Amino acid sequence: MAMPLMQVRNLEIRAGGRLVQRDLNFDVQPGEVLAIVGASGCGKSTLLRHLVGLERPAAGQVQFAGQDVHHGPAQALTALHRRFGVMFQAGALWSSMSLGDNLMLPMRMFTTLDAAECARRARFKLALVGLDGGFDLMPAQLSGGMRKRAALARALALEPDLLLLDEPGSGLDPLNAARLDELVLHLRNHLGSTVVMVSHDVASVAAVADRALFLDPDALTMTALGPPDQLLHAGPEPVRRFLRRGAAA
């Protein structure tokens, strides 16, 4: 197996002093879609913020391409964090800026690309998510599904080595949620993107995840990790129950 892109070891996360999850051990393999699954409030978003270095673990460590995500010289950490493309749960775009500017702002801030090249790349990313011609639109002019896709395009702006999505389909009708799933698969299949995707949508997990990591809200640790179809048959009962809901739907 290839060298993992990310390695999570004995990770313990706390929020406001309270234990959220502990003993998390898993890898993210290059080119896979890993879903982080669990009941609301079990710590999925908090885990995501730990993976990208926004929050410090109470214990344990996260490595990306062999480098510690939380400890090291500030400059090296900043450079490392820039390799992550994150779409947060709110998925907010800057509302006072056009879609083009939303995508170009990070390029202007963090690269030396000239204006024409920034614009070219922004148009390319928008086309990738099905928003060709959306360059001059304002976020308020978009439907919910379009806004999510624009937020995904912005997460791709700096050509990240790892894409992290927090509930990308939440708040969308099933058709638009499925469209977003297809988009994630397209990125994985055609651009070789590696994706960590938080989800509590079983249909989405079954459709896109190569592997799923289950966080338990009571045990406060991971209870399963593997391909969804294997966990459906051989996972712990609560995990099978969750996955069966999707099989029945």
Ligand X SMILES: Nc1ncnc2c1ncn2[C@@H]1O[C@H](COP(=O)(O)OP(=O)(O)O)[C@@H](O)[C@H]1O
Q: Which does 41 bind (CB under 5 to 8 A by kind): Mg ion, ligand X, none?
A: ligand X
Assign 184 to helix, strand or coil. helix
In what helix (H) or strand (E) does residue 84 lie, and over which residues does it extend?
A: strand 84-87
Q: Which is nearer to ligand X, 38 or 168 (CB)?
A: 38
State which residue, 63 or 89, has the beta carbon closest to Mg ion.
Answer: 89
3-state secondary structure of 131: coil
**Nearer to ligand X (CB atom), residue 21 or residue 102:** 21
The answer to whether residue 97 forms part of the interface with ligand X (CB under 6 A) is no
Task: Indicate which of ligand X, Mg ion, none lies near residue 192 (CB less than 5 to 8 Å, by partner kind).
Answer: none
Footprint on residues 170-209 left by ligand X (CB under 6 A):
none
Q: What is the Cα–Cα distance from 24 to 88, expressed in whole angstroms?
A: 21
- Kindly state the number of chain residues that form the binding site for Mg ion, as judged by CB under 5 A: 2
The phi-psi region of residue 239 (left if phi > 0; otherwise alpha if psi is between -120 and 50; otherwise beta) is alpha
**159-174: b or e for each residue (b if 16 or more CB lie within 10 Å)?**
ebbbbbbbbbbbebee
Among all chains, which residue has been given the structure tokens 């509590």? 200
Minimum CB distance to Mg ion smaller for 45 or for 67: 45
Task: Check residue 53 for interaction with ligand X (CB under 6 A).
Answer: no
Interface characters, 3-42, with Mg ion (x: CB under 5 A): ----------------------------------------
Tell me, residue by residue from 42 to 61, as one string, x for binding to Mg ion by CB under 5 A and - for no binding.
--xx----------------
Using the structure block, give the residue that is written with the tokens 């990313």: 125
Closest by CA to 43, choosing from 58, 24, 21, 62, is 21
Residue whose structure tokens are 């894409």: 163
Q: Does 44 bind ligand X (CB under 6 A)?
A: yes
Residue nearest to ligand X (CB): 16
Name the strand (E) or helix (H) holding 105: helix 99-110
Residue 22: phi and psi, rounded to 5, are: -140, 165
Binding to ligand X (CB under 6 A): which residues in 12-31? 15-16, 20
69 binds, among ligand X, Mg ion, none (CB under 5 to 8 A by kind): none
Q: Residues in the site for ligand X, rule: CB under 6 A?
A: 15-16, 20, 38, 40-46
